[in-house]
Amino acid sequence: MPKNPNGGAGAPSETPVPAPAPVANGPADAVTPQADGHANAGRNISARKKQFLIAPRQPPEGLQTLGLQPMQFAALEQALRNSSDIEVVDKIAPLSVLADGMGGAPGVLVARMTDQKAAMLHQQGQGRLLVEHDQPLTLMDASPVQPALVTPAAVGGPVLNAVISVIDKAGMPMPDAEVSLFGSLLPASGVTDANGRVTLSLFGETAATVRGLYVKPKADYWSFYQRDPDISTDQANVVALRALADWPALAGLPRQRALGWGQKAMRLDQLPGAYRGQGVRIAIVDSGAATSHDNLHGIRAGFDILNKKTNPDGWNQDTIGHGSHCAGVIAAADIATGIRGFAPDAEVHACKLFPGGQISQLIDALEYCIDKQIDVVNLSLGGTEVSEALEQQILRAKRAGVACIVAAGNSGGAVQYPASSPNVLAVAAIGKLDEFPADSYHAQTLDANVDAYGYFSAKFSCFGPQIAVCAPGVAITSCVPPNNFAAWDGTSMAAPHVTGLAALCLAHHPDFQAQYKLRGPDRVERLFQIIRASARRISLGDQSRTGFGLPDVLVAVGLQTQAMQPQQAVMPAPAGLGANVGGLMAASYDPFALARHAAVPWPSPPAYQPFFW
């Protein structure tokens, strides 16, 4: 971008973009005559203003010489601010000028206008101006399955009223638990009161048509799901929840420290104690991080993008818990209690974007990451549509040496954006049998394709050729505010596992102490390559659901090679039989080749021993 967008000496010659023409939307207030001659004061209906992103389109590399010069963005900005029917609400300007090829970018404008005005502005830009909706973002945590078809209830039809009482194993009431009843029509949801009770009403349903009962505790307990529950309308229906600490793998939590099953699956428990992510900067763009939590006291930096003009330091208030959960997986403190994260000594920045985050605010968060020289960013979020304005910022961040690790999405369909971007690393979710109670909602994520060691692709996880790797995303126990723990599902939980591993890789792999020490796009690509190369196949199913497989910590930091990995996820293939694609993927399993190599032993997997309580 030119440093003088208004022209002047040395400015490139270009066709100016005309100021946006006024659009007649009609008067905001009018007096409408009625048939009897009296006037009815009111407001005429007109098009609603919406929020848009406005940015110069970055030309592809190599086309600058063809005369595609950046437009005079400053002049356009002034014209928009002078327009009576356009409200410029924010400008996201570069905080740093970096040697990234895009350091002089004029930034992004956020403005409110009608669709008609936006279409006119886009047309006037002649292909050099991006004008797109500032779409909302969502967090990538799995939600309970809704009925396949929702139809309206008939007027005067039956109404099912049910009282749900939620208690712990000692019989004490559990307040603030989310409870949902699913029928063939609209679901009913509520939150338990101080007595652990909630009354739910299902319209157009009877006890025989209720399809499911779901209970999600606020913290410290396993969820509960009962398919086709026997619901009583005459007395309270009691659900007794089990504590997380009652599960053998989490025994003693939080009084005793525990490693999650996902961290063990990636062999974090075998990593030498000195490997702790020192010197790496991680940003978690999410709902903030509750530093009130014992395991999150070490997070001392951040930025509240939602309230940047009024309270930019509000990043340590996490009203949702989602960001704190991700932060725990990535960098929970290595203390005697609670859990331990992958990189407890890394410098963590919490960028608060939720609740209510939008594309413009994610662009702002990435600008913060560029300015603070963040090494790796965790994005457990997504949108419904591709954003070219966001893609330009992701590319700019990559050129500045910022690696983005992104959750694939939880719709069970195609990979969502920005995970579908070619400039990020997309992460799908897997689960493992024996790591959650059979009557918890986690069991509903089970896919039919389970390998011999109990790994499965989570039913909710998005899939497609953009998936780079997979990571644990079912029944992941981590931190929630104020100082508690919760087991959640989602690609939101899978991405932090890979972000934590990426931090360890950057801090300790020899390549990043020498050849790839300098920040830049080559450093980011080398990181992604090492992560993919460290992965091992999880199942023999569709690779569009698991990518290269589950990354391995010991391989990613350079302590072991791919050949030294224990073959615990799939049956081993004989040497020379698997195809090595560009040096990035481990040898694949060939069942027909095994028959031709009788000398190769066929390992016997441990028998599956499910827990039933």
Q: Which residues contact 139 (CB under 8 A, 6 or more apart)?
A: 286, 287, 320, 322, 354, 380, 381, 490, 492
Radius of gyration of the chain (CA): 27
Q: Report the Cα 45 to chain-centroid distance in Å.
A: 38
286 is known as an active-site residue: yes
Specify whether the CB–CB gap between 351 and 364 falls below 8 A: no
Q: Active-site residue among 134, 141, 286, 489?
A: 286
Let me know the angle formed at the C-alpha of 22 by 20 and 24, rounded to the nearest 5 degrees: 145
461 tagged catalytic: no
What is the rounded distance in angstroms from the CA atom of residue 259 to the CA atom of residue 342?
A: 10
Q: Got the DSSP string for 23-46?
A: -----SSEEEE-TTS-EEEE----
Question: Which backbone phi and psi does 440 adopt, to 5 degrees?
Answer: -90, 165
Q: Which residue has the tokens 């050729």?
A: 465
The helix (run of H) or strand (run of E) holding residue 505 is helix 491-508
CB atoms near residue 475 (< 10 Å): 27
Cα–Cα distance for residue pair 530/551, rounded to 1 Å: 9
Helix, strand or coil for residue 583? coil
**How many Cβ atoms sit within 10 Å of the Cβ of residue 24?**
8
**Can you tell me whether residue 116 is helix, strand or coil?**
helix
211 to each of 10, 214, 258, how far by Cα in Å?
A: 70, 10, 36
- Strand partners for 347: 281
Of the listed 141, 220, 304, 322, which one is catalytic? 322
The catalytic position among 492, 508, 509, 539 is 492
Q: Which helix (H) or strand (E) holds 302?
A: strand 301-304
Q: Kindly report the number of other CB atoms within 10 A of residue 79's CB atom.
A: 15
- 182: enclosing H helix or E strand: strand 178-182
Amino acid at 116: Q
Q: What would the two tokens of residue 296 be? A: 């999150």
What secondary structure letter does DSSP report for 344?
A: T
Do the Cβ atoms of 489 and 440 come closer than 8 Å?
no
% helix, strand, coil for the chain, step of 5: 20, 25, 55
Q: Give whole-number Cα distances, 414 to 150, 411, 534, in Å.
A: 23, 8, 25
Which helix or strand (DSSP H or E) is residue 77 part of? Answer: helix 73-82
| Separation between Cα atoms, residue 2 and residue 5, nearest integer Å | 6
Catalytic residues: 286, 322, 492
